[in-house]
A and B are shown apart, each in its own frame.
Chain A
């Protein structure tokens, strides 16, 4: 029997600070062993438990796409014991990983449809994975229009700034980046994500929406999606909940009879409507 609790060794290849407040750091990790690298197959939306022996484990959405071979990318917000330890890791250090875990975004359902991606703050990590995957030459023709609306509180808090610049230049995806407050160098849009969504007004016909962000953003964006006539079955989100085992055994992350780690973290709003508001 394979022991699902044993972390697989990985090495930190690159560590870089993402945001000007230094609270978000991106780690690029690669497997120590060839066989582990070959066996690791994931889809956007899945997550892994990163393990620092002596400190503990914590779940993080995979920010890199399956199309980016070589290393896995995670963006980590410094908040507690484990994340602080992850922030202090130097390149070349060994850490552990368990995964891929969770259900991922419903890529199969997206076939032939338009995709609207709405992200806020540092919840954008798995959305990056989804966007890179869908816009990859091998996959691009599988879906129709891709619209991305991404907002952060301030320009310095935007993730993956260099990539955003490149995506803005692409003709096969529409990217709208916005901030709540601009600064003297910011030349882009200023406005809250829900308002920008209203402005962009993408058509809900034949479109799937994927929304990830802080609760306050979701609270105000969701009614705008309703106003644009998006049905609950076509709005997906990725939930967060305190997790430990990540494989549906320890009981902690349940919402009703579903486990966020095993049956999620990606859920449609149609599913969430039937579950208790335990998140």
Chain B
């Protein structure tokens, strides 16, 4: 179902959402820095950034999450699990790349025998309102990674900014519940033409130039290549790329508190940290940055596809924008393909 929402009605519309749901949307923390947060007032919502720093996966998989609290009562340990989600939620303003990434993470966390209840409870109770990308950045390569700036898949409702209004598409059953919202109006043919123009223009802008297709097979032959000796050189092993990556899902489990009372918490972790695979004996299967960089790239483009038939990269470009030493994953991908420059050195990997 195709509808329209005038921008002058946007804040009251948000209020109608907040009356019944917990609303999560981008919030600006400082100039140029935005993250997804729970909204307390409609004026907090800021959809102006091309993309947030921290990805939308945070809504389902928070950076730090209490799994359960425990308390020792006599000889007994009482545990209270924290997976319950009391109120239905809405995620508004996530870009198609982030939404696709959520379904990638869901593939890992779901499972017949063991399901990650914390992620799935939140996912079940969330309605996703996607937002199309009118202005993708030059670092975006979603189309090369199987997505596109207006991809509807994964969204329950989809908004496209038409200037004075948002074009609204209700896509799923969860989305159709909103068709009676008093702020939604009928569209007219001009709106639909504008949508089509925007889609074509941006699709062409993003292009298909990064050879993600077929990378799994190419990397099969490169497990012990000298490529890894060079590519890790400038990486300093901070964790920005993994923390800001919408598909990265590694976590650490720690106990906080003491013997009598406390909680078991899970925090984001990164395969680039030297402690990640360090065993108590002192042995570390990935002792240097070389092995860890290899693990990150192989996991995204070879191991994950082997298990789930999809690369674990949606082309959002955050790792390129925020890497302090300007490691460009696109160059690394190009370098695994026949497009690579003759000397390993001729690009800027």
- Residues of chain A whose beta carbon lies under 8 Å from any beta carbon of chain B: 1-7, 9, 53-57, 79-80, 83, 92-94, 96, 215, 240-242, 244-245, 247-252, 254, 256-257, 276-279
Known: A53-B255, A249-B116. A257 touches B304 (CB 8 A): yes
Main secondary structure of the interface of B (DSSP, over half): mixed
CB nearest to A263 among chain B residues: B307
In Å, the complex CA distance between A79 and B282 comes to 10
Contact A257 B303 (CB under 8 A): yes
Contact B253 A6 (CB under 8 A): no
Which of A80, A215, A244, A279 meets B280, CB within 8 Å? Answer: A80
Known: A240-B279, A241-B279, A249-B116. A54 touches B259 (CB 8 A): yes
Contact A55 B307 (CB under 8 A): no
Q: A276-B298, A278-B285 are in contact. List 8 more A-B contacts (CB 8 A).
A: A54-B258, A79-B280, A94-B75, A242-B277, A248-B114, A249-B116, A250-B269, A278-B295
Contact B285 A279 (CB under 8 A): yes
Contact B70 A53 (CB under 8 A): yes
- Residues of chain B whose beta carbon lies under 8 Å from any beta carbon of chain A: 67-68, 70, 72, 75-77, 79, 81, 83, 108-109, 111, 113-118, 120-121, 223, 249-255, 257-260, 262, 264, 266, 269, 271, 276-281, 283, 285-286, 291, 294-295, 298-299, 302-304, 306-307
Q: How far is the CB of A77 from chain B (nearest CB, A)?
A: 9
Contact A242 B278 (CB under 8 A): yes
In Å, the complex CA distance between A278 and B279 comes to 13
Q: How far is the CB of B39 from chain A (nearest CB, A)?
A: 28
Contact B77 A53 (CB under 8 A): yes
CB nearest to B302 among chain A residues: A257
Contact B306 A4 (CB under 8 A): no
CB nearest to B82 among chain A residues: A3
In Å, the complex CA distance between A93 and B259 comes to 13
Residues of the B chain whose Cβ atoms lie less than 8 Å from the Cβ of A53: 70, 72, 77, 79, 255, 259, 262, 264
Residues of the A chain whose Cβ atoms lie less than 8 Å from the Cβ of B260: 54
CB nearest to B72 among chain A residues: A53
Contact B115 A4 (CB under 8 A): yes
In Å, the complex CA distance between A247 and B258 comes to 26
Which of B109, B121, B257, B294 meets A54, CB within 8 Å? Answer: B257
Residues of the A chain whose Cβ atoms lie less than 8 Å from the Cβ of B77: 9, 53, 94, 96
Which of A240, A242, A257, A279 meets B307, CB within 8 Å? Answer: A257
Residues of the B chain whose Cβ atoms lie less than 8 Å from the Cβ of A278: 277, 285-286, 291, 295
In Å, the complex CA distance between A2 and B115 comes to 8
Q: How far is the CB of B56 from chain A (nearest CB, A)?
A: 19
In Å, the complex CA distance between A254 and B312 comes to 15
- Across the A-B interface, give the 8 residue pairs with the lowest CB-CB distance, nearest first: A251-B250, A257-B303, A257-B306, A247-B114, A80-B280, A4-B114, A79-B280, A54-B259
CB nearest to A256 among chain B residues: B303
Known: A250-B269, A276-B298. A244 touches B223 (CB 8 A): no
Known: A6-B79, A9-B77, A249-B108. A54 touches B255 (CB 8 A): yes
CB nearest to A1 among chain B residues: B117
In Å, the complex CA distance between A55 and B254 comes to 8
In Å, the complex CA distance between A1 and B122 comes to 12
Known: A1-B121, A242-B278, A257-B306. A251 touches B68 (CB 8 A): no
Contact A251 B249 (CB under 8 A): yes
Residues of the B chain whose Cβ atoms lie less than 8 Å from the Cβ of A4: 114-117
16 A-B residue pairs with CB within 8 Å: A1-B115, A5-B253, A53-B79, A54-B255, A54-B262, A56-B253, A96-B77, A241-B277, A244-B251, A249-B116, A251-B249, A251-B269, A252-B276, A256-B298, A276-B298, A278-B286
In Å, the complex CA distance between A6 and B264 comes to 10
Residues of the A chain whose Cβ atoms lie less than 8 Å from the Cβ of B306: 256-257
In Å, the complex CA distance between A94 and B72 comes to 10
Contact A6 B121 (CB under 8 A): no
Residues of the B chain whose Cβ atoms lie less than 8 Å from the Cβ of A240: 279
CB nearest to A4 among chain B residues: B114
In Å, the complex CA distance between A244 and B281 comes to 16
CB nearest to B283 among chain A residues: A215
In Å, the complex CA distance between A176 and B245 comes to 53
Residues of the B chain whose Cβ atoms lie less than 8 Å from the Cβ of A79: 280-281
In Å, the complex CA distance between A5 and B299 comes to 24
Q: How far is the CB of A6 from chain B (nearest CB, A)?
A: 6
In Å, the complex CA distance between A242 and B250 comes to 13
In Å, the complex CA distance between A203 and B120 comes to 51
Residues of the B chain whose Cβ atoms lie less than 8 Å from the Cβ of A94: 75-77
Residues of the B chain whose Cβ atoms lie less than 8 Å from the Cβ of A3: 81, 83, 117
In Å, the complex CA distance between A96 and B116 comes to 19
CB nearest to A277 among chain B residues: B285
In Å, the complex CA distance between A250 and B105 comes to 11
Residues of the B chain whose Cβ atoms lie less than 8 Å from the Cβ of A242: 276-280
Contact A1 B120 (CB under 8 A): yes
**Residue from the set B259, B260, B278 with the largest chain A CB neighbour count within 10 Å:** B259
Contact A254 B253 (CB under 8 A): no
Known: A54-B262, A257-B306. A250 touches B257 (CB 8 A): no
In Å, the complex CA distance between A169 and B269 comes to 51
